[in-house]
Amino acid sequence: MHATTIVTVRKGGKVVIAGDGQVSLGQTVIKGNARKIRRIGKDKEVITGFAGATADAFTLLERLEKKLEQYPGQLMRASVELAKDWRTDKYLRNLEAMMLVADKSVTLCITGNGDVLEPEQGVMAIGSGGNFALSAAKALVDTDYSAEEIATRAMKIAAEICVYTNGNMILESLDEES
d(CA 22, CA 13): 29
- CATH code, domain with 147: 3.60.20.10
Which long-range contacts link 19-23 to residues 24+ away (Cβ below 8 Å)? 19/49, 19/127, 19/155, 19/169, 19/170, 20/129, 20/155, 20/158, 20/159, 20/165, 20/166, 20/167, 20/168, 20/169, 21/166, 21/168, 21/169, 21/170, 22/164, 22/165, 22/166, 22/168, 23/54
Question: What pLDDT is recorded for position 2?
Answer: 57
Q: How far is CA 157 from the centre of its chain?
A: 17
Question: What pLDDT is recorded for position 178?
Answer: 60
Whether 138 is covered by a domain: the verdict is yes
Whether 97 is covered by a domain: the verdict is yes
The active-site residue, picked from 4, 8, 48, 165, is 4
Whether 154 is covered by a domain: the verdict is yes
Whether 172 is covered by a domain: the verdict is no
Residues of the domain holding 42: 5-165
Question: What pLDDT is recorded for position 59?
Answer: 92
Whether 113 is covered by a domain: the verdict is yes
Whether 177 is covered by a domain: the verdict is no
pLDDT tens per residue, the chain (178 residues)? 457 999 999 999 999 999 999 998 888 999 999 999 999 998 999 999 999 888 898 999 999 999 999 999 999 999 999 999 998 988 888 888 999 999 999 999 999 888 999 998 999 999 999 999 999 999 999 999 999 999 999 999 999 999 999 999 999 999 997 6
* 107 labelled catalytic: no
How many structural domains comprise the chain?
A: 1
Whether 103 is covered by a domain: the verdict is yes
Question: What pLDDT is recorded for position 1?
Answer: 47
User: Residue 42 half-sphere exposure, CB side, CA atoms within 13 Å?
Assistant: 9
Q: Where are the alpha helices (DSSP H) in 37-173?
A: 54-70, 75-88, 130-140, 147-161
Whether 55 is covered by a domain: the verdict is yes
Question: What pLDDT is recorded for position 121?
Answer: 92
Rounded to two decimals, the pTM is: 0.94
